Amino acid sequence: MRQTALGTALCAPYDCKGSLIHWAEACSAAGLALVRMMHAILYWLIWPLAHFLIRWMFDFDYVRQAQLPLGPKVIVANHPTTIDPFIIAVSLAEPIHILITEPIFRAPLLGRYLRSAGHIPVGLAEGRSAFNRALRLLQKGRSILVFPEGSLSPDEGGTNPARTGAARLALVAGVPIIPVGIYIARERTLIIQNNRMEARGRGKFVLDGPYKATQGRPLYVEGNVEDREVVKELSTWIMLRINSLVRESEQRVMALMPALEPGQ
């Protein structure tokens, strides 16, 4: 029976042998390329609007001590509010992949977008899986945003001790670390507790006021990733650098406050 042009086109992925394997692989690759293309398009369409909204809502600035190096990198920041991943992602002005707490992915529309954009859920029992996904992205030339505290910063201020994932990623992938220090006015935050069984957790949102971030110079690290003491010390050093940048961000706020007269 004579094949039509459509039949030939449909038959090509099967090699006319009835196998769906090549067709499925072709569709998978095409689908992945389409998702990445849509992610990039959405990013560059949304970025100007998101940047405008951030500056409209907050007394916002993002100071760079140095330009981002080319190629893959691990961006690390403290985590005073729930919206930090999105504000830092917009401020970096280049597409990145973010490690985000897993319950956020359960939101119907937001969760679907986060997954399709390649962001990585981090659950209590998914640490190794999240690490491996992040490592694969770095090896493909992508950049990752990690919050080394592993949770929101303490309500009373300061930061939590750093976990070791960011340091291990940088060591294994051989990429630089970009530290970012965020300062907000704690009295302008709203804490929301979610006690639903399927999505238990809490959110902390800054309502207005200062949101200052300082991006430090790249940190180039080396060492034996299998040496736990080395990795722990490196993680502590990274957190110290982040805290130093938090203080620099805070100083920009303090510099704008009116000086008190003697005796006040």
Question: What one-character-per-residue DSSP string does 165-184 give?
Answer: HHHHHHHHHT--EEEEEEEE
User: In this structure, what token pair is assigned to residue 189?
Assistant: 């935050």
Task: Report d(CA 135, CA 200) in Å as an integer.
Answer: 28
Residue with tokens 């971030």: 213
Q: In this predicted structure, which of 10-19, 34-43, 48-57, 204-213 has the lowest mean pLDDT?
A: 10-19
Task: Report d(CA 96, CA 117) in Å as an integer.
Answer: 9
- Tell me the residue ranges of DSSP E strands in the chain: 59-64, 74-77, 97-101, 120-122, 144-146, 177-184, 189-194, 201-206, 210-215
Are 188 and 85 in contact by the 8 Å Cβ rule? The answer is no
Q: Where are the domains of the chain?
A: 48-254
Helix (H, G, I), strand (E, B) or coil at 21: helix
> By C-alpha distance, which of 211, 82, 201, 54 is closest to 149?
82
- Count CB neighbours of 107 within 10 A: 12
Kindly report, residue by residue over 50-95, the tens digit of the pLDDT: 666 666 667 788 999 999 999 999 999 999 998 898 889 888 878 8
Task: Report d(CA 155, CA 174) in Å as an integer.
Answer: 34
> By C-alpha distance, which of 129, 138, 163, 152 is closest to 239?
163
Kindly report, residue by residue over 110-169, the tens digit of the pLDDT: 677 777 777 888 876 677 888 999 999 999 999 999 999 988 899 888 999 999 999 999
The per-residue pLDDT for 23 is: 45
